[in-house]
Structure 1
Amino acid sequence: MNKFIFPPFLKFGDLVTVIATSGALKELDAFEKGLEVWRSHGYQIKLGSNWNTRYGYLAGTDTQRRQALLEAWEDPNCKAILCARGGYGSARLLENWSWSKQSPKWIIGFSDVTGILWSLATENISSLHGPVLTTLANEPSWSMKRLFNYLEGHEVESIQGTGWGGGKALGWLLPANLTVATHILNTLLHPNLEGAILALEDVTEAPYRIDRMLTQWRLMGIFDKIKGIALGRFSRCEAPVESESWTVEEVLSDRLQNLNIPIVSDLPFGHDGVNAALPIGVTVELDSDRGTLKILT
């Protein structure tokens, strides 16, 4: 099992830095509410150099976004990096990128931020798959508590979904947005998945697209390396009106059921609803009889 480097846990009064790794910021009201959540928990906020920069659909040029990430990563006073939003673009800024392991810190985000999280995982550096600033204020209280509890070094409870049967699996946790992860397979951003428990979610992808992506993973032999699959929310993944199609649930069953590994679906993470924090690299137990995902270490 991979041995991950875990950044220091956060303390009341720590400084956290906000950057936009992907798409340009549009949801200013939601962004301000997310900042207030962090302030209300006692953290100081620093706005990174590109938090409100725009370059087409990106939050600045690749150079500007790389610089903002580098400044935050190397700032000794910064204890965590908060991603403003998802969108698209994280893979672009990671071309020819390398991570310093001297003073790792938490990076928190999901969706397109998968590129950043997976890049860190190639260096066995842990990060946190969780709400970005523009979605944070919509989280229920238990999910917010889970986020801060984990970052501050406290235990977090199991999350509950629907078990598919097949017993338990132990492995290291690797969450991802399915579409973003699919587009970085077999690149320098693709970590070694041996022994992983994948946690997958997606949004606004038609069922046949989910089928196509999962078929690619099957053809690449990736599912032969992993220990289990935790499925979150696949929101707004409906077929076009009046088209003949499987549902996304039927696609997931068709493409995954016969892998003979533990699978749990309907777990509370992803877009358009509660997005429970999932740390990368921790050892977890996936119980496909009880339908639970539990962090062990």
Structure 2
Amino acid sequence: MTSLTLFTPAGALAKAGNLTRAAKRLTKLGFDVSIDADALARHQRFAGDDATRLAAIHRIADAAPSVAMATRGGYGLTRLLDQLDWSRIAKSVEHGTRWVGYSDLTALQNGFIARHKGLAMWSGPLACDDFGRSEADGGVDEVTQDCFTEAMSGALEAVGFRAPSAEFDGLEARGRLWGGNLTVLCSLLGTPHWPKIKGGILFLEDINEHPYRVERQLLQLQQAGVIDAQAAVLLGDFSGAARSPLDKGYGIKDAVAALRSRTKTPVLTGLPFGHVRTKVCLPVGGTVELYVQGREAIVGWQSDPRLAHAAHHPHGEDCGDDCGHDHH
């Protein structure tokens, strides 16, 4: 049975019931679930003080379960980046631990791959957000669940999605996959925790950020030379922000257009990832290959992230059309 440990490295959990529900559902999926001793700790808005959360990450790294899954994001990992023992985390990944999460986990994931070429973590669901949701609130998304279980078993080697248009038909790119939450990623720029990746495939998402703020951060990355140095950029979901009366029709599409007008790097939209119910799993730090045919895009990789730099063509198992959806 695959061991899975639930831990809370950033924001505190509001309800213990969501954690219990997530643990039960993950157990039914075949995981041997354990909950870290401090998963429900609380200090101000954080899941325990910095020392508590730091100790939890190191404790899990030393135990090296098959899966280390964050219960939620929020904010808090930025506080820990300068104190983390990255070598202990690397040993767990080399042992086979798949660290999973998104949102604030972007800080941990990119800080890790900035130091360890050839190793990867996983951008994917959070326990309470995705597996702890009550049935009244929609329950578990089947595509998210299926992609997660395949990724954690090592069977997942590709995800597909449908872009809004066929403007990038015929595009092929290969590079190291990195990125995650746009705001968290931008906060790492200029720090030792920034992955200096050229020729990579950068994926981005965000929540509750007005389109002009999204544009400002995208242009920050472009003006810093980051976007222009990539083989491709994949944009996920950017929703949740209230429109302003001053917008006069301005929205995310305009923010994307502003970025595209300033770079030659292909910028694709429609990646099913972000603060949405349906999300795929992506190996952050792994080498991937991107293929676009018409509106259909496939991102494929070596199934074992520890072999991130091995040559690979994505013709193995994947989530196919079930892992993607239309973004009009």
TM-score relative to the length of structure 2: 0.80
Match of 1:89 in 2: 76
SS at match of 1:249: helix
**In the TM superposition, what whole-angstrom CA distance separates every residue of 1:147-202 from its partner, at most 9, and x where no partner exists?**
11121111344321315426221112113100110111121211122121011100
Which piece of structure 1 moves more, 207-216 or 249-258?
249-258
Match of 1:143 in 2: 144
CA shift, 1:102, in A, is 2.9
TM-score relative to the length of structure 1: 0.88
Opposite residue 186 of structure 1, the aligned amino acid is G
Distance in 2 between residues matched to 1:17 and 1:46, nearest whole Å: 5
CA shift, 1:257, in A, is 4.5
CA contact (8 A) 1:284 1:293 kept: no
Whether 1:292 and 2:297 are equivalent positions in the alignment is yes
Distance in 2 between residues matched to 1:263 and 1:209, nearest whole Å: 18
Whether 1:133 and 2:127 are equivalent positions in the alignment is yes
Opposite residue 85 of structure 2, the aligned amino acid is S
Which piece of structure 1 moves more, 286-295 or 176-185?
286-295
CA contact (8 A) 2:207 2:239 kept: yes
CA contact (8 A) 2:27 2:33 kept: yes
CA shift, 1:284, in A, is 2.3
The number of equivalent residue pairs is: 284
Distance in 2 between residues matched to 1:106 and 1:153, nearest whole Å: 10
Distance in 1 between residues matched to 2:261 and 2:159, nearest whole Å: 23
Runs of 4+ in 1 over 6 A off after TM superposition: none
1:22 corresponds, among 10, 34, 41, to: 10
Match of 1:213 in 2: 217
1:103 corresponds, among 89, 92, 95, to: 92
Distance in 1 between residues matched to 2:28 and 2:51, nearest whole Å: 33
Match of 1:53 in 2: 41
2:282 corresponds, among 254, 278, 281, to: 278
CA shift, 1:34, in A, is 2.0
Opposite residue 298 of structure 2, the aligned amino acid is L
Opposite residue 106 of structure 1, the aligned amino acid is R
SS at match of 2:227: helix
Alignment map for 1:78-227 (pairs within 5 Å):
78-100=65-87, 101-104=90-93, 105-122=97-114, 123-124=116-117, 125-137=119-131, 138-162=139-163, 163-165=166-168, 167-227=171-231
Which piece of structure 1 moves more, 242-251 or 52-61?
242-251
Match of 2:314 in 1: none
What is the percentage of aligned positions where both structures have the same residue?
A: 25
SS at match of 2:41: coil
CA shift, 1:133, in A, is 0.6
Q: Which runs of 5+ in 1 are unaligned?
A: 1-12
Q: Which runs of 5+ in 2 are unaligned?
A: 132-138, 303-328
**In the TM superposition, what whole-angstrom CA distance separates every residue of 1:108-149 from its partner, at most 9, and x where no partner exists?**
000011011111211233111001011223443232111111
Opposite residue 195 of structure 2, the aligned amino acid is P
